Amino acid sequence: MLSERQELVLRRLVEEYLDAGAPVGSKSLAVGFEWGSSTIRHELATLEELGLLAHPHTSAGRIPTEAGYRYFVDRLLPDDGGHPAPRMALTLVRRELDDAMRATTEALSRVTNLLAIVSAPPIESSTIRHIEVLTLQSQVVMVVVITSTGGVTKRLFQFDAPVDQGLADWAASYLNERLVGLGLGARMLQGRLRDDSLSPRESEFVAALAPVFTELAESAAETLYVDGTARLLCFERAGEVSELNTLMEMLERRVTMLGVLRRTLGERDVLVRIGTENDQPALRSLALVAAGYGLPQRNLGAVSVIGPLRMDYGGAIRAVREAAAQLSSFVAEVYDER
């Protein structure tokens, strides 16, 4: 625990460094304080000994360390009262969940000027609502699958021989009867497509259409929405993102990033990980701010931003919290559980 004066000095120094990006000296800090430069220098030296500040050059001022950022976020960050959350300008009502998450990601990146990532709800939370089997041409059939979250998937199938319209109409009725209400990740989905009472012609036709359901499940399981990667490349931050290529590879693999975001699902509020607090090497020179969104009884996904250690933590926390709240409200409406 720091003294009140030490906390004031640390808070002022972090705020000035976040604003200007340059080491902060004792003379600059002394402005507005009742203590002189010598007293400030003494407190700065103490904070440096405690590992909260670093001294890049002998003649220069000091900058926060990861521990200094952590103390600032945990104990010194101003309350939200004087800084309302930025307006996300989201219009999510009556839009598909896919569009809502994409809009949230874009807005979050724009208002924070950081890399924004939103993870989709797990596959098990989405069910099949309706299926259409349409004959576009004599040998071309389109299957349309509508999910409970508003997602619409279309897939074309080419057959060697003309498809009877009666067979297509029967398949639509059969698939709706067998699959509506099942989760995309349900193990029984494939089994429900098989029925020994079907004729060989019917079984072959259903088997030919089956990939639309399996591929839908596979794609839904790895959905991440990312916006703002170019924002990490701006000149003033170049020295703080040396692991950028590794981070981009991590986003491309998706599985690793999804694992990072899943850890936020059990958190009650915003999660902040600074520098080496992150397990993944790609994030150890960066900071992550994330929050879960979903239904009142459980989180379904995560909203997050990634940026340099020198970020506006207060603004990032408020923006992530607001985005998660808006997306939760939309999800509750989509799932009819508001």
Given a cut of 50, whether residue 338 has pLDDT beyond it is: no
Mean pLDDT of the region 80-101: 60
H or E stretch at 12:
helix 4-20
- Higher-pLDDT residue of 94 and 234 is 234
Given a cut of 50, whether residue 94 has pLDDT beyond it is: no
Bridge partners (DSSP) listed for residue 299: 294
pLDDT of 205 reads: 93
Given a cut of 60, whether residue 242 has pLDDT beyond it is: no
pLDDT of 162 reads: 93
Mean pLDDT of the region 12-18: 93
Confidence of residue 45 (pLDDT cuts 50, 70, 90): very high
- Sheet with 140-147, strands from edge to edge, namely 128-137, 140-147, 152-158
Q: How many Cβ atoms are within 10 Å of 176's Cβ, its own excluded?
A: 16
Report which of 1, 16, 3 is spatially closest to residue 63, judged by C-alpha positions: 16
Kindly provide the residue ranges of all beta strands, DSSP E only, lying in the chain, ordered along the sequence.
53-54, 63-64, 115-119, 128-137, 140-147, 152-158, 224-227, 271-274, 286-295, 298-308
User: 128-150: per-residue pLDDT in tens?
Assistant: 888 999 999 999 999 998 877 66
- Higher-pLDDT residue of 12 and 231 is 12
Mean pLDDT of the region 106-117: 93
In angstroms, rounded to a whole number, what is the distance separating the alpha carbons of residues 197 and 249? Answer: 49
Report which of 89, 6, 94, 92 is spatially closest to residue 43, judged by C-alpha positions: 6
Confidence of residue 102 (pLDDT cuts 50, 70, 90): confident
Q: H helices of 113-254, where?
A: 165-179, 188-193, 200-209, 211-220, 244-253
User: 149-167: per-residue pLDDT in tens?
Assistant: 666 778 899 999 999 999 9
Average pLDDT, the chain: 83
| String of DSSP letters for 126-161 | -BEEEEEEEEEETTEEEEEEEETTS-EEEEEEE-SS
Mean pLDDT of the region 54-80: 87
Q: Which of 93-97, 107-111, 116-120, 317-321 is predicted least confidently?
A: 93-97
Mean pLDDT of the region 275-292: 91
- Higher-pLDDT residue of 93 and 64 is 64
Given a cut of 70, whether residue 257 has pLDDT beyond it is: yes
Confidence of residue 173 (pLDDT cuts 50, 70, 90): very high
Domains in the chain (CATH in brackets) are 4-76 (1.10.10.10), 81-122+223-334 (3.30.450.40), 126-220 (3.30.390.60)
Mean pLDDT of the region 313-337: 87
In angstroms, rounded to a whole number, what is the distance separating the alpha carbons of residues 338 and 336? Answer: 6
Q: Is 198 exposed, middle or buried (0-12, 13-18, 19+ CB in 10 A)?
A: middle
Given a cut of 60, whether residue 293 has pLDDT beyond it is: yes
- Sheet with 115-119, strands from edge to edge, namely 224-227, 115-119, 298-308, 286-295, 271-274
Confidence of residue 337 (pLDDT cuts 50, 70, 90): very low
Mean pLDDT of the region 266-279: 90
- Higher-pLDDT residue of 81 and 8 is 8
